[in-house]
Amino acid sequence: MSKLFYSKEFISYQDQIALLKSRGMKFADENKALHLLENISYYRFSGYWYPLLADKQSHVFKPDADFETAFSLYKFDRELRQLISSEMEKIEVAIRAKTSYLMSLAYNAFWMEDTTLFTNPSVHQSIFDKIRDELNRSDKEFILSFKSKYSNPYPPSFILLEITSFGTLSRLYSNLKQGKARKDIAGAFGLSDKVLESWLHSLVYIRNVCAHHARLWNRQVGIKPLFPRHTQNTWIDMNNVSNRRMYYILSIILYLLNIVNPNHTFKQKLKNLFLKYPNVDRMAMGFPPNWQNEPLWKD
């Protein structure tokens, strides 16, 4: 299939509004819309008015489509990303702590340097090269203190993992050889090791989406987390649930938060967000009709 040459002309903010109006979009306040287009951009907004199109090929809007609805979806998505980011930190810290403790208990505090504990030596080398770069660049007080006091080339894992990204932590876990320590880490979260590996990979993906301020609310997840055969803690009915939609990801976050921070307010904050933005189509996020009756999601 031959590729097209991009030939669309760049147009001014005023012409962007005129184009949208010609396609059927309504505006309650064109001056405000102009300001938003100047500071957010037409292209970023287009992902939020896409659901308002009646004809997605010719870009004709539904009769009741207005710019304010698109902006409301944009605000919901921004607040959803902020909520996920703040809660994801708690999960990341807990997984980092549990990994460091259980691996150190099974082997020693310097297990991260031991190539024999990993499935693929070249992958381990690649990961450790990245960790070494982080170590060399770090100006954190606890790293500088360790370097000034000890002759070891690397700090123990409970220190080194503090400067390791969530993505690197996920790759470390994925590359661990099958064994009791790997299973014990997953078991601490009531999961099998294969499921935890898959969930970590997916959460890193979602965290990166949030970090880059990309559209999230109705996204089809590029990395599909596994369906667990069983969990030790309350989980969802997986019948007719897609693991490529945000409902499944949000359920993973809630499941893990219930373990690492039982007094969290994530569930209520999410429900409040839906009340604040009633126009959000939860079905587009993969929420089943009876989701609030799920034991995991019940108040």
Tell how strand 53-55 and strand 60-61 pair up: antiparallel
Same domain, 51 and 149: no
**Residue-level pLDDT at 299:** 84
- Which of 207, 186, 209 lies closest to 255 in space, CA to CA? 186
Reported as a single tens digit per residue, the pLDDT across 51-89 is 999 999 899 999 999 999 999 999 999 999 999 999 999
Task: Say yes or no: 147 and 43 in one domain.
Answer: no
Q: Tell me if 214 sits within 8 A of 259, measured CB to CB.
A: no
Grade residue 119 by pLDDT with cuts at 50, 70 and 90: very high
Element (H, E) at 13: helix 13-22
Please indicate, yes or no, if residue 285 is contained in any of the structural domains.
Answer: yes
Q: Are residues 104 and 251 in the same domain?
A: yes
Contact 216, 209 (CB under 8 A): yes
The residue out of 68, 97, 114 marking a domain boundary is 68
Q: Is residue 274 part of a domain?
A: yes
Residues 46 and 128 in one domain: no
User: Is 2 inside any structural domain?
Assistant: no
- Residues 18, 115: one domain? no
Give the pLDDT score at 6.
Answer: 86
44 with 174, same domain? no
- As a whole number of angstroms, the distance between CA 199 and CA 253 comes to 9
Predicted local confidence at residue 233, as pLDDT: 96
| pLDDT given for residue 109 in this prediction | 96
Q: Do 115 and 191 reside in the same domain of the chain?
A: yes
Residues with Cβ within 8 Å of residue 297, at least 6 apart in sequence: 236, 251, 254, 267, 291
Helix (H, G, I), strand (E, B) or coil at 214: coil
- pLDDT at residue 166 is higher than 80: yes
Average pLDDT, the chain: 95
pLDDT at 31 (0 to 100):
97
Q: Which helix (H) or strand (E) holds 53?
A: strand 53-55
Task: Point out which residues pair with 299 in neighbouring strands.
Answer: none
Max CA separation in the chain (angstroms): 71
Q: Which has the closest alpha carbon to 50: 211, 277, 218, 274?
A: 218
How many structural domains comprise the chain? 2
Same domain, 170 and 274: yes
Better-predicted residue by pLDDT, 198 or 56: 198
pLDDT > 90? residue 2:
no
What average pLDDT does range 90-101 have in this prediction? 97
Q: Chain-centre distance of CA 16, in angstroms?
A: 32
Give burial (CB, 10 Å; 0-12/13-18/19+) of 168: middle
The arithmetic mean of pLDDT across residues 256-285, rounded, is: 96
- pLDDT level of residue 265 (50, 70, 90 thresholds): very high
Q: Looking at the domain assignment, is residue 196 inside a domain?
A: yes
Residues 184 and 41 in one domain: no
Question: By the 8 A CB rule, do 205 and 212 touch?
Answer: no
Question: Is the domain of 37 the same as that of 138?
Answer: no
Give the Cα separation of 172 and 169 in Å (integer).
5
Tell me, yes or no, whether 25 and 88 share the same domain.
Answer: no
- Is residue 86 within 8 A of residue 207, CB to CB? The reply is no
Are 99 and 173 a contacting pair, CB within 8 Å?
yes
Q: Mark whether 122 and 148 lie in a shared domain.
A: yes
Query: Is position 224 within any domain?
Result: yes
> Is 299 domain-assigned?
no
Is residue 298 situated within a structural domain? no
Say if 74 falls within a structural domain.
Answer: no
pLDDT at 1 over 80: no
Look at residue 295 in the predicted model and tell me its pLDDT.
Answer: 95
pLDDT at 167: 95
Give the structural domain span for 214: 79-293
Report pLDDT for 81: 97
Q: What is the pLDDT of residue 110?
A: 96
